[in-house]
Structures are given as C-alpha cells and as structure tokens.
Structure 1
Amino acid sequence: MVSTLLSLPTELLLDVVEAVDDAASLRSFALTCKLARLVAEPVLYRAVLVNTGSQASCLAQALRQQQPPTRAELVHTLDLRSEYGEDADLGALTPLVGEMIQLRALSMESPFANYGYWRSSEGQDWWESLIQGYRTMFLDAQCGAGLQNLTSLTIHWSGHTSRFWLLTEFKPILTLPALQSLTISCAILDDDLTDGLATFAGTTPLTHLELIECFVSPKALTAVLALPRALQSCHLGIMRHHRIPSTNCHQASPEQQLEALHQQRHSLQQLIWVDDHFAYDTDVHRVFTIPGNGLSDFTELHTLTLDGASALLFSTLFSECAPPNLDRLRIIRHDKGTLLDHPTDSVAYTRIPGIPPPIALHQYLPRLHYLDLVFSSLSRYGDRLWTNPDRRDCVKRLGEDYQARGIRLAIFAVFRSSYIPPYLFGEEVPVEVPVYRAEDAWFSPEMT
C-alpha cells in the first residue's frame, strides 16, 4: 500500500499528506522510507503545540537531528502553553528557537499565568531560569535569528514571585522586522522602555496590538504607539481586573491614552478600550475633561468597543468629537443591574445610562449601522432581563427607533466562568449569547 502511494506524482502525494489530520498516522508513514519522511515531516513540524515538559524534551531531541532539511527549519507555528506542574523541561527548546528560520507565529504562556493556580503555595524556582533563557532568545542577536520572520507573537506570563513582568527586559520584540501582531498580558511598560525606541518610530509593520491587564506609563504608551507605520487594530485592556503593581511610575490616564492613540489616527480601524479609571466611576462630570477633538480625526475607525462608563462614551460619541465613519459601536456593561435600568439597581452605577438615545447616536455618528449592547453577567444565566412585558415593549420601541435611523440594535448576555482575561490555554472563554435583535423583534426565551 505504501509503495503504491509513493508511486504517485509528488504533487498528488503532497496533497494526500496535507489531507491527513492524524499525527500518529503521519508519523508512521514518515518512518517507512526517506521519500515519505521528506514529504511528511514538513506537515508534521509545521505547527507544534507543547504543553508539557516531556513533550518539549522529545521535540528538542527530534529537532537536534541534523538531517536535511533541518527539522527546526520546518516549524512555522510554535505554541508553548505549559501546564502547571508539567513544565520542568521546557527550557530544552529555548536555544532551538533561534534555528527556526521559518517561524511565523510564536505563543508563550507561563504555568503561573493561569489564575486558578496563581495563588498556589507551591513554587518552582527553575521558572526564573527559563525566563532568563527567553530573555536571551529575544536579546541576543545570534540566538534570536529565528525570530526575524516572526509575524505573530503572544506572551501570557506571570512569574512565581511576581504577577507582572517587565517588558523592558524583552524590548527587541517591539521592533522585530516582520512582526504584524503582538499580544502581551500582565506586563509593566515603564519609562525605561522608551530608551532607544524613538529611532524606530513609524518604521515597524505592526498592525495589531493588544495590551491586556498591563501597567502602562504615559511615556511608554506614547513610545510604543509611535512605532507602527499604520496600526489597524488596538486593544487597550489596561488593569481592568488586577491591582496596580507596586512601582514608582504612574499609569496612563484615559486622557493620556487617547493622546497616545492619536499617533495612529490615520490608520486605526478597530479599537477596544476598557480601563479601570472609569469602569466603576460614578462622577460623570469627570469624563468631560478629555481635551482636543476626541476621535473626530480617526477617519478610518469603523469598529469601537467601550466600557459602559468609559470616557469616550460620554465625552466623544455624543458630541462633534465622534469618529465620522464609525460603523459598529459595542458597549459592554459590567454591573449587576439590567441594561434598561436608569438609574440602575446598583448603587455604584446610579449615574450611568442604560441605552444611548437613538437621536444622539444618529446625530453624531451618521454612518453607524450596528449598536451592540453587551451585558456581562457573573452567573450562568443571570437575572431574566425582561420579565415585565412593559419593559419588552420599551426595548421593541427602541429597536424600531434605531431601525428608522438605519441602526440595528442587538443585545447580548455574556455568561462567564470565574476566569478573567487574558484567557489561557484550556480555559473557557466567555460567550456572547444574543438575547434581542431589533430587525426581527426577537427576544431570547431564557431572558423573558
């Protein structure tokens, strides 16, 4: 059977190998002869997931077999998501990453990043030595040669002794020549990060940036957002769920964040902004202090996601400072009241409106076509949103009003687990479930 298969033209044989989704079968096929190995190994090593130390050790041993083509050169995607307690040999892979000259996507996650294990009293001192190996990989030009073609990098790290890590120690990742997507969490971006970055301003190909649960100084944020030639997507989830780490630096305020974002106003298409400064702030007058033109000169911005009490929602979207070409607005509510309560049942949200007036959005966002309201609930199904028929009628009238102005109103409920972002390997990511759609006046049975 194998000999018959190998008699096929190489192009057809490659198609057959590409269609096999069982790694064990593909490995068995690769062991039959040299031709089978040459055809199968590029598929076997193209995307590698490692979540235990034993897997890392076995992979390192296989990659060290220097037979043409070198196996390390076959790896395009490397996902290091170690399980807690099963990660003692991950360091075996560190020196080999520099040989992965075709590496395009790299994900790295520490075993302590998982929130459920973070508070464990057990410790593994070797993790600091592994971090040092990663530092070497990013800082040493020779060791990091395999990162020159990297287009996507995700780092979710937390150490055993500290929840946060210093991005300054890994600064070269910000200026990798081919990097287009960067996602990092639980990092500290302090003023020291800015040294030498001005040289690269406006030169990097980065188009997508996520800073999740990061502590960011104004100076550092300005320097980082100055690097891309044309940033298209940005997620600023700055310290939304964690306590601010002990540091001498001040975190960037919403005003300073907006000022830094203005450097990418010519290209930014999607923005997610959730921030602790206003997430639970009941002083509405404070949010009108953002100076300048707001988002009015973000001409390419078409999708915007905000906290229900964000500075932008109050001081920008309901004024002439709104982005002129916005197509979709997503508003996320985190309180325990309902979306329609104004004032809400929660004392902390007595001055936060539920649904924006249709006429206000229509006036300042003339190109808006979609309004998504996301209600974040900590329980599995939460309270039923519209047990009262009058409230359902109110929602329906609002939906009709929006429809008349060309805006489709949709309301979602998010059913969450106890985990908080960043969402790690094997964790359940919160799911948005539609509970109301204006175009067909549909209400979810579970919410009525």
Structure 2
Amino acid sequence: MASSPLLSVPTELLLAVVEAIDDAASLRSFALTCKRARLLAEPVLYRAVLVTTGSQASCLAKALQQQQLPARAELVQVLDLRPEYGRDADVEALTPLIGAMTQLRTLSMESPFANYGYWDSSTIHGRWEALTQGYRALFLDAQCGAGLQKLESLTIHWSGDADRFWLLTEFKPILTLPALQSLTVSCAVLGDDLADALAAFAGTTPLTHLELVECFVSQKALTAVLALPRALRSCHLGIMRYHANPLDDYHQASPEQQLEALRQQRHSLQQLTWFDKAFAYDTDVRRVSTISGRGLHDFTELYTLTLDGASPLLLSTLLSECAPPNLDRLRVIRQDEGTILDHPTDSVAYARIPGIPPPIALHQHLPKLRHLDLVFSPEEHYDIEPLWAKPDRRERVKRLGEDYHARGIHLAIFAANRGSAFPALPVR
C-alpha cells in the first residue's frame, strides 16, 4: 500500500478525499493501511463521536488509551454521550478520558434512564453513582484548569439517582467554564445554595445561550446565574411546568421574580423563550396580571419572543407601555387543539379570545412587530388534520390574517405534536 498511486498524490488532495468519505468503516480500513493513512484519517474519524452503548464506550476508551501520536483524545471535538437504558454497562469507562480531550468544543451528555422511572432500583443507583462521580471529577478538574478549557457548547439531560431531578450545585463549575458559550440543561435543581461563590464571576463568562428545560429554579439561584454572562443573547426559561416542586425547602421563582432576574441581561438579550404554568386561557389578557417595574421596555435588543403557555404576565406586558420597543417576532404556543379559532373575529370580540392579543393592541405597543406565530401543540397525541376541518374556522382564520396584515403584521398558524419525553422535542 506504501507505493499505492493514491498515497502519491499531494497531501491536500488526500485530505479532501478523506473529508468526503462519510462511511466510518471505509475510513477505518483506510487508516489501518499505513502510518500516513492513519494520520490523515484519524482526525476525521475521531472528530465527532456518538456513544449509545457501554461496549462502544469501552472500545473507544481502549482506542484513546493507545500510546501513539497524535494522541487520539486530542482529536475529539464533538462528543455525544447518549447511552440507552437496558443496554450493556461500562459507559463510565470513557468518563476519565474526557478531560484529556483538550480540543473538545461540543459535549452532550444524557442519563441512560432520563425518561424511565427506575431511579429507586439499587442497580440503577450504583450505575448512576459511578457515572456521576466521574462527571463530578471532570468538571472540578476543569475549574482547576485541566480539560474542557475550549468547550463552547454543553448539553446535559440527566436525572437523579432516586428521582427525575439532579442537583446542579454538585456540578457548579459547569457555569463558569472559561470558553462556554451555550449551556442547556434539563430536569436540574438550581437551589439557593448554587448562588454561593458565583458572585465573583458576575459579568465575566462568555455565555451567550442559556436553556433551562423543566428545571426547578429558586429566585436567588436564577439571579446569580443570570448575572454571570457578559452579554447573554438567547435565553430559554422552562421552569417546572409538568412536575411538583422537588425541594420543599426552596421556593420556586415566580414569573415576576424571573423577569426581574432577567433584567440583568436587558442590554444584550435578543431571543427569549418563556414557559409559564399560569396560562392566559380563560380571561381577558389585558387584565390577567400586574406588571412590576418597566417590564420589557428596557430590553431594546429583544427581537424574538416565544411564549410557551401564553403567560399572563408576558401577554399583559406586551399590551402595555412596558412592551419591548423593537420586537420583530412573537410566537405564542398553546397546549390545545385550536378551538379558540372558532371565535368570531370582529374587532369587539378580539379581546375576549383567550390568549390571542388583539391586532390593534399589538400594533399600538409593538410598533416594529412584523411576525406573529400561533402554534397549537397539544400535550397528548393529536391528529392535526382537524385543525382545519371546519369551514367556519378557515374563514375566521382568513379574516384574522387580513386584520393583522392591515396593520403590517404577518400571521402564521402552525400545529405540532409533542410527546412526554424530556427534553421535549422543539416546536418547529
């Protein structure tokens, strides 16, 4: 193979050929032919790695431990750890080697039983504890300057060892990784104790995207976490809609407290997704909540707002002088089957349609709004075809769209199905 015509071509061309091969088995075969082929193929083979079973983790760990240059661990830039429940064990075999992946940019981690109710099993407890010990050491080492120094994106979908929720306090260094720009966590508990020692990092982290999915968050913790980024651009506050409070000792931040904590990023926030348990379904949205302070008026950079659940606080804010002045797109996600579209669409009735802001009010308080998206997303499986089955509904939707269009607002209506898994699939 050393005298093969293929290996006689310039290195740049060989690299282009290797990059174009999307079959891992073929690349492995090529890498085994000679040293030059290995040096060309392995950076592509190890650049992005997906692990779904313990046997894959064990094989990868053995490969990374082989003593040869360049070190294979340093070739990994994307690592996706999503072990399947019920498959072979030994997922933890890979954990000690993550810290040696000095070029790692993106890391995704999922509990092997994140969506299974088996936390009380003693077998499960042992497996999860072995994994979390390794993860805990990994992030503590990162705080000391070893490993993960170039990590830019971190996604964690975990559970606890005896409950659906896990304590972010035990992994506090996650929040202050030196290069981290995007952080997504689900089913995490952010209690008051998390705020300890974070004050020293206020306004210093490069985080631009923060996503909390079905998390318990106290007011003190949320205030401390949102104080960390120098300039947060995107925030997803998905705080405990579907489950009871996992910690009786803490009080979950109220919508008003969440908004107050978020004000720390009003100078830079461009996109906000907001979950709220208190749906504005059965009342006039102009009178459902009292707005404290200036609301979103000082969020001059905010151009996209998604309300998942039609928050009464946020809807009230949008229909007042506290609205964000430069908002371009508003998306309202409702957990129903579109029955509100059966309401008449004359101007008098708009205010009585639960959860749909009247066009004239949006035009008045959101002068730069150009897009309004209504998304009907039932929590249970639902056939979206009936959304358009009624002729009267189609006619009213048409009239509704015409009324918005006359005020310079483009109305789009979507239907989407979402399951009960966490994290939930995003609504497109």
Q: Normalised by the size of structure 2, how large is the TM-score?
A: 0.92
- Specify the code of the residue in structure 2 equivalent to 1:223: A
The CA deviation at 1:341 is: 4.4
What is the match of residue 174 of structure 1? 175
1:384 equivalent in structure 2: 386
Between the aligned partners of 1:308 and 1:138, the Cα distance in structure 2 is 35
CA contact (8 A) 1:73 1:101 kept: yes
User: 118-127 vs 17-26, which deviates more?
Assistant: 118-127
Cα deviation code 1:43-86 (max 9, x no counterpart) = 00000000100000000000001211000000001110000022
| Aligned counterpart, 1:426 | none
CA separation of 1:393 and 1:351: change in aligned 2, threshold 3 A:
closer
Query: SS state of the match for residue 227, structure 1?
Result: coil
Q: Give the match for residue 403 of structure 1.
A: 405
Cα deviation for residue 394 of structure 1 reads 1.9
**Structure 2 counterpart of 1:118, which letter?**
G
2:348 — aligned with what? none
Distance 1:217 1:351, change over 3 A: farther
Number of residue pairs matched? 418
Q: Could you tell me how far 1:355 is from its partner in structure 2?
A: 2.9
The CA deviation at 1:304 is 0.3
Q: 1:243: which partner in 2?
A: 244
What is residue 412 of structure 1 aligned with on the other side?
A: 414
The one of 392, 396, 417 equivalent to 1:394 is: 396
Segments of structure 1 that go 5 or more residues without pairing to the other structure are 344-349, 424-428, 433-448
Contact 1:137 1:143 in 2 (8 A): no
Structure 2: state its 5+ residue gaps.
Answer: 345-350
Letter of the structure 2 residue corresponding to residue 220 of structure 1: A
AA at the equivalent of 1:412: F
Quick check: 217-226 or 92-101, which moved more?
A: 92-101
Name the structure 1 match of 2:147. Answer: 146
- 1:84-126 per-residue CA deviation (whole Å, 9 max, x = no partner) reads 0225211111111111100000010001112xx2258754222
Q: Is residue 43 of structure 2 the alignment partner of residue 42 of structure 1?
A: yes
C-alpha distance in structure 1 between counterparts of 2:143 and 2:373, whole Å: 48
Output the TM-score relative to the length of structure 1: 0.88
Letter in 2 for 1:164: F
Per-residue CA distance 1:228-255 (angstroms, 9 max, x = gap): 0000000001112222213301000000
Counterpart of 1:173 in 2: which secondary structure?
helix
1:317 and 2:321 are equivalent in the alignment: no
CA distance in structure 2 between the partners assigned to 1:106 and 1:374 by the alignment:
31
Residue identity in the other structure for 1:404: A
Which whole-Å deviations, capped at 9, do the CAs of 1:6-57 have from their partners, x for residues lacking one?
Answer: 1110111111100000000000000000000000000000000001000000
- Counterpart CA distance in 1 for 2:64 and 2:296 is 50
| Matches of 2:26 and 2:114, distance apart in 1 | 34
Quick one: which amino acid aligns to residue 37 of structure 1? Answer: R
Partner residue, 1:133: 134
* More off after superposition, 376-385 vs 365-374: 376-385
Q: Where in structure 2 are the equivalents of 1:293-308 lying within 5 Å?
A: 293-308=294-309
Distance 1:85 1:192 in 2: 34
Give the root-mean-square deviation of aligned CA atoms.
Answer: 2.3
Instruction: Tell me if the contact between 2:297 and 2:324 (Cα under 8 Å) persists in the aligned partners.
Output: yes
Counterpart for residue 369 of structure 2 = 368
1:155 is matched with which residue?
156
8 Å Cα contact 1:112/1:159 also seen in 2: no
- Separation in 1 of the partners of 2:119 and 2:169? 27
1:328 correspondence with 2:357? no
- The answer to whether the 8 A contact 1:294-1:316 is kept is yes
Question: 1:5-44 residue pairs with structure 2 within 5 A?
Answer: 5-44=6-45
Tell me: CA distance 1:404–1:199, structure 2 relative to 1, closer, same or farther (3 Å): same
How much has 1:307 moved relative to structure 2? 3.1
**Counterpart Cα distance in 1 of 2:225 and 2:212:** 11
The reply to whether residue 204 of structure 1 matches residue 197 of structure 2 is no
Query: How far apart, CA to CA, are the structure 2 residues paired with 1:391 and 1:404?
Result: 20
Q: 1:156 to 1:322 in 2, by over 3 A?
A: same
Report how far residue 340 of structure 1 moved: 1.7
The worse-fitting range, judged by mean Cα deviation, of 330-339 and 247-256 is: 330-339
Once structures 1 and 2 are overlaid, which stretch shifts more, 282-291 or 130-139? Answer: 282-291
Q: Distance in 2 between matches of 1:261 and 1:196?
A: 20
Q: Give 1:443's aligned residue.
A: none
1:118 is the counterpart of 2:117: yes
- Amino acid paired to 2:251: H
Are 1:254 and 1:277, in contact at CA under 8 Å, matched by a contact in 2? no
Q: Provide the rounded CA distance (Å) in 1 between the counterparts of 2:236 and 2:353.
A: 23
Aligned-residue offset at 1:415: 2.2
The answer on whether the counterparts of 1:77 and 1:105 sit within 8 Å (CA) in structure 2 is yes
Partner amino acid, structure 2, of 1:399: G
Change in Cα spacing, 1:410 to 1:337, as seen in structure 2 (3 Å) is closer
Bigger drift between 270-279 and 26-35 goes to 270-279
Q: Secondary structure at the match of 2:341?
A: coil
Shift of 1:275: 2.0
Q: Deviations over 1:314-333 (max 9, x none)?
A: 32111111111111000011
The percentage of counterpart residues that share the same residue type is: 76
